[in-house]
Structure 1
Amino acid sequence: MGDSDDTAVEFEDITDGNSSAALYPFDDPAADLVIRTPDGKHFYVHKLVLSLVSPVFAGMFTLPAVENLNTQIVHDGHPCVDVDDDGDALYKFLVWCDPRCSGVLSSLEHGQLALNIADKYGAEGVIKRIGEALLARKDWIIEQPIKLYALAIRHRWEELARLSALESLLIPLEGRRAIPEFQHITGLALQRLYDYHASCALAATKVATQFEWFREVFIHSERSPLMWSSSMTRQSHAEPCIFMPTLLSGRTWRTWWYNYMVDAAERLNRTPRGSILLQAGFLSQYLEQASQCAGCRQLQTKYITETEKFNQILADRVELEVSKIPLIISF
């Protein structure tokens, strides 16, 4: 018989007692491939599934064998390939690939680990579904808006970027610090976020300092902002309550109400959201000041009721004006 042209392939079985199978469903002996991570985790996977999810894996499985390769690694009777990914991160990615799993994010960090692996392997479908899951987590958007803005810009998720930018208004510019996620977005995208904050701050501050909108709000109401003007029933009020060296919108106001509006404007300049005016303790301190004036004290019930209503109107007006400010998205 003549010599065969076929090259003998030597199989190296690396199965040992120290090997660690991954959690369900990546411990399935019916799989046709094992992926091994540097930390000793072995993932039993199906090549067809990974090929459909990732063009990188698809290319890996369809490439012709390297010439003169005479050794193939085998684990537990399955072909085995090594990757340099952390086992925990790889698991968090694979659960978004396998139809036996439901992709659920237990934390934002969980999502970031899965996204990093999905980026590496070009798994666009996984990236899209993780983005949809993040968009549904309003609590994370409120708690970590700047981080989510950066993730949204990186992955071109416009709706999440806009929601995150809006929530970021509650974080003063001077309190912000660089975060690792900024490495993956452009300086222009970050500047757009800062410009948005500045524009919203200007619009919100105008609500508390320029009262042209009063007429629009109160024209059909029995309430009038003039009730806080020191020119009304001036004689019955103590001097500290009526003396105002600074005019606000062309009128002299009661001192406590003026202080309230100045404080509101300062808060809105730093954090331009209406909700900042509804925080516990903000309004009550000025109603307490009003109670120190005999004239205001006579109308204390009315002042409390009407000022609380006005504070809500003011907060709503801030939200309205901020909603008009455009955010320019730069991916």
Structure 2
Amino acid sequence: MNDAATLSTGWSLLLANPLLGPFLEFGFMRRALLGCLALSLSAAPVGVFLMLRRMSLTGDAMAHAILPGAAIGYLVSGLSLAAMTVGGIAAGLTVAVGSGLVARNTVLREDTSLAAFYLLSLALGVLIVSVRGNSVDLLHVLFGTVLALDDPALALLGGISAVTLVSLALLYRPLVLECLDPGFLRSVSGWSPVAHYGFLALLVINLVAGFHALGTLMAVGIMVLPAATARFWVRRIGPLLLGATAIALLASLAGLLISYHADWPTSPVIVLSLGTLYLASLLLAPHGVLRQQRPASSHLRA
């Protein structure tokens, strides 16, 4: 009896712990944490290459571009994971390829053509969901349901994470070279188009994964903000990839706990947690604003 009472008391103390209790007590919190882990392992490294290629705003545009495909999948099959995933990937790839073709065959630059495509996509997607669904469905599409991830959704996020990690390992050298000097890569290797279009495909599938958890409006946050935050701390690409992943996971954990205890929407809180780490790093990191100015001023005095 004493052993049973001790175990019961210990378990009660664990459940009362504000950091461990929610994950021990509720399955939906554990599934949400697993989904955030999968996103952190895949989306954050993709975000690093997105930043190094100066395509962060492109990622934001692509996050909105997947909306009509997901909305059409919703129109056909309701809140079907498979239909919305296939539709989102198809729409994202269509916008990526279409904007590239317009940029190569007209006077418009790629950023302008991409902006035009993504605005049309966003408007079409919102219209489809609004007309054929309801306000709850619209909120689900725009802001995600990270606390409602089920086993099939986790399997999808885990699969996308695995594909992304394997692909990044295979394409690591050409991706790094393309970030540094794309012209040199084109001149010495045939991997340039593979790296370019392979990266766009990874971007689209990770945005679709982020869409299922965080919604189209927040999906790009777990890509761009961890990479930008890690950049204030490290310069080399290897530590940058590891740092961005760790930052994404830390902010996701903090966001889940804050949203649980405060009863706030989870996706915005996760992105705000990422933003808080970004702002703190902007000020205090070795390559942040305050720390950058000190060596510069002393150098001028010398």
Structure 1 or 2: larger helix share? 2
Structure 1 or 2: larger strand share? 1
Larger Rg over CA atoms: 1
The normalised TM-score by structure 2 is 0.26
The normalised TM-score by structure 1 is 0.25
